[in-house]
Amino acid sequence: MRSRALVPWLWLLPAGCLLVPFFVLPLAVTFRNSFWRDDDSGVAVPAFTFANYARVLGDPYYLQVFGNTLWIALLIAALALAIAFPFAWLLARLTGRAQALVFWVVYLPLYVSVVMRAFGWIVILADSGVVNQALLAMGLIRQPIRILFEVEGMVIGMLHRYLPLMIVPLVTALRKLDPSLLRASANLGAGHWYTWRRVVVPAALPGIVAGTQLVFSGVLSDYVTPSLMGASGYQLVAPAIYYEAATNSAWALAGAMATLTLALVSLLLVVANALLRRFAPWAATL
Amino acid sequence: MKPQFGVAERFHAAAVLLFLVAPILVAMIVAFSSGNRLDFPPPGLSLRWFGVALGNELFIDGLLVSLVLAAASAVLATIAGTGAALAINHHRFRGRSLVQAAVMLPIAMPTIVLGLGLLFTLSIYDMQPGLLPTILGHAVLGLPYVVAMVTAALASYDTSLERASLNLGAGPARTFLRVTLPLIGNGVVAGGVSAFMISLDNISLSLFISKGDTLPLRLMQQLQSYADPSVAAIATVVVGLSAAGFLLSLAWGARRRRLVEPAPPGAAAGRPPAESKEATA
């Protein structure tokens, strides 16, 4: 009986060998190093100081970076939710071939290199790109409007990158909704909006939460889209972490920024699940 | 009751689909451009940028590195993830829910943070940035997707088959290879394919722990310094390769389904990565 109790742990051994040294420990070391001190020679030396945090939380530049990132993450999550919800509702009610085809298109971006997707947007949004050509030809504008290398262009690129991550969990949640509930609601005299508010949205809640979490952690660690499509004056946290580490050799400072990023994502996870358990206990995942 | 779709609803859906497809289609068309610049529509069609891309050593080296990296990390992720999924779904043990949360955590954690942390940690293992740490790092990212898809495959799996096999005298290893693995094969393949694709497209992690020689990093550098259609051309080649791989995995899945009836409903081969939320939600 004692040896039987070991069986699950044997199955877990490969995952443990991967996760402990290459996931758990790196996060722990990042946390530890965030209290170290950056030497002038470009190495982090052991210490215990809150100086890095004081600098990140006290310097307007770094605050701006975190503020920008949170704002963009919120914006992308809200836009993605607003766009994805009606779409997911339609997709969840489609059947057979039509559903398979639409699903295929939703997954398509996930199978295409993110650099190629950015390339496509560059062609579309550039000053001499598709959008500007069309607007100029229609006489709506006299000068090309600058979209690429501005916040707007970056938001479009990110929305494209993260929209499928909102659509898929939403569809998954909505497909579990029993259609007879909708009939019941209508039969009991509920109007269209009332049914939406009391039946459809509650059923979608787990998907909304999962999608928002995916979008948030995506935006927070997105290096590519801001680098290829963003404005140089509008820094986000992922490129900023890389810059501090690789270019400035401010390793401990980068560690503090990374720890704060991690804290933000964890906070979102915890808060979202606490809210779910309070207001929608049927949807709580943690 | 047949679902009814309003005009506004259809229009919205069409717009979303167009938005999702547009940049990919545009990039592919520009890859076949005969012009020098990123003009759209292109002045004419030609294969010249494919010639330029395939003649670019940086791209070809990067492609080889990325393929080796994706294959190796997918194998590691598949082994570790399948084991973890079996442990979580077939056994009841103390700390099971904690383990379950832990193996799914790499999806929720920002990759850029893990990249920095791995770089910090490499010196502890006496490693330098390069292929090996990148393989291990990417395997961590692929692991939750394998767990999710094997878990989905296990949802329709009947453990009594396993017990029957053991009772009939097959050893645990034989039972695993001849009973368990064929039954969850679709989920294992789907998980492996997802892990492969995740690795093939990763930048945030490779940025820190590779030598900067993976294809996505090289393409990004090229696009930042000088954007010409060769970037789109090599990316189109990769899309072609993954499409071929995807079709192969579909064919393999179809063969499996014929061999093992009835088909596990949640385990169609080639289920794309984001579907994993189904198992976690």
Per-residue pLDDT of chain A (286 residues), as tens digits, is 457 778 889 899 999 999 999 999 999 999 999 999 988 887 888 889 999 999 999 999 999 999 999 999 999 999 999 999 999 999 998 888 888 899 989 988 888 889 999 999 999 999 888 899 899 999 888 888 899 999 999 999 999 999 999 999 999 899 888 888 888 888 888 887 888 888 888 888 889 988 998 899 899 989 999 999 999 889 999 999 999 999 888 999 999 999 999 999 999 888 888 888 887 776 655 4
Distance CA B5, CA B228 (A): 43
Is the residue at B200 inside a domain? yes
Is residue B89's pLDDT more than 90? no
Strand partners, A37: A45
Q: Any chain B CB within 8 A of the CB of A273?
A: no
What value does the mean pLDDT of chain B take?
86
Strand partners, A38: A44
Residues A216 and B111: beta-carbon distance below 8 Å: no
Residues A125 and B227: beta-carbon distance below 8 Å: no
A212-231 residues touching B, CB cutoff 8 A = 213-214, 217, 220-224, 227-228
Helix B230-259, helix B7-31: angle, nearest 10: 120
Distance CA A111, CA B197 (A): 7
Token readout for B106 is 């790499």
Which residue in A105, A115, A117 is closest to B17 by CB distance?
A: A105
* pLDDT of res. A259: 96
Q: Any chain A CB within 8 A of the CB of B226?
A: no
Is residue B22's pLDDT more than 80? yes
The one-character DSSP state at B229 is: T
A185 HSE (CA, 13 A, CB side): 17
Is the residue at B243 inside a domain? yes
Set of chain A residues whose Cβ sits within 8 Å of the Cβ of B96: 8
Specify the 3-state DSSP secondary structure of B260. coil
Phi first, then psi: what are they for A146, rounded to 5°?
A: -85, 110
Beta carbons of A111 and B242 less than 8 Å apart:
yes
Question: How many domains in chain B?
Answer: 1
Which residue in B22, B109, B112 is closest to A223 by CB distance?
A: B112
Interface test with B, best of A113, A130, A208, A229 (most B CBs within 10 A): A113
Is the residue at B219 inside a domain? yes
Q: In chain B, where does DSSP find H-type helix? A: 7-31, 48-54, 57-90, 96-108, 111-122, 131-154, 159-167, 172-175, 181-200, 206-209, 215-225, 230-259, 277-280
Q: Any chain A CB within 8 A of the CB of B80?
A: yes
Residue A147: partners with Cβ closer than 8 Å, 6 or more residues away: A125, A129, A131, A132, A153, A156
Distance CA B150, CA B269 (A): 11
Token readout for B228 is 């010409």
Distance CA B222, CA B216 (A): 10
Distance CA A118, CA A226 (A): 10
Distance from CA of A165 to the nearest CA of B (A): 6
Distance CA B137, CA B199 (A): 9
* pLDDT of res. A39: 84
Closest CA to A217 of A245, A247, A258: A258
ipTM: 0.90
Residue keyed to tokens 């943070």? B113
Residues B230 and B52: beta-carbon distance below 8 Å: yes
Q: Any chain B CB within 8 A of the CB of A33?
A: yes
Beta carbons of B116 and A30 less than 8 Å apart:
yes
Distance CA B81, CA B77 (A): 6
Phi first, then psi: what are they for B221, rounded to 5°?
A: -60, -45
Which residue in B3, B238, B272 is closest to A93 by CB distance?
A: B3
The one-character DSSP state at A42 is: S
Q: Rounded to a whole number, what is the largest CA-CA distance in chain A? A: 81
Beta carbons of B223 and A228 less than 8 Å apart:
yes
Specify the 3-state DSSP secondary structure of B227. coil
Distance CA B166, CA B173 (A): 10
Range of the domain at B104: 57-280
* pLDDT of res. B273: 44
Q: Any chain B CB within 8 A of the CB of A78?
A: no
Distance CA A107, CA A86 (A): 17
B240-259 residues touching A, CB cutoff 8 A = 242-243, 246
Set of chain A residues whose Cβ sits within 8 Å of the Cβ of B124: 25, 29
Residues B190 and B149: beta-carbon distance below 8 Å: yes
Beta carbons of B203 and A30 less than 8 Å apart:
no
Please name the residue of chain B whose CA is at the shortest distance from the CA of residue A28: B117
Token readout for B193 is 């394919």
The CATH number covering residue B185 comes to 1.10.3720.10
Q: In chain A, where does DSSP find H-type helix? A: 7-19, 25-33, 51-58, 60-93, 96-107, 114-125, 130-137, 151-175, 179-187, 192-195, 201-220, 224-229, 237-242, 251-279
A190 HSE (CA, 13 A, CB side): 16
Distance from CA of A51 to the nearest CA of B (A): 19
Distance from CA of A48 to the nearest CA of B (A): 17
Question: Which numeric CATH code is attached to A44-111+162-283?
Answer: 1.10.3720.10
Distance CA A188, CA B198 (A): 47
Q: Tell me: the pLDDT tens digits for B225-276?
A: 888 899 999 999 998 888 887 788 778 777 766 665 554 444 444 444 444 4
Token readout for B177 is 């290879």
Q: Any chain A CB within 8 A of the CB of B5?
A: yes
* pLDDT of res. B267: 47
Phi first, then psi: what are they for A94, rounded to 5°?
A: -70, 160
Q: How far is CA A49 from the centre of its chain?
A: 31
Please name the residue of chain B whose CA is at the shortest distance from the CA of residue A111: B197
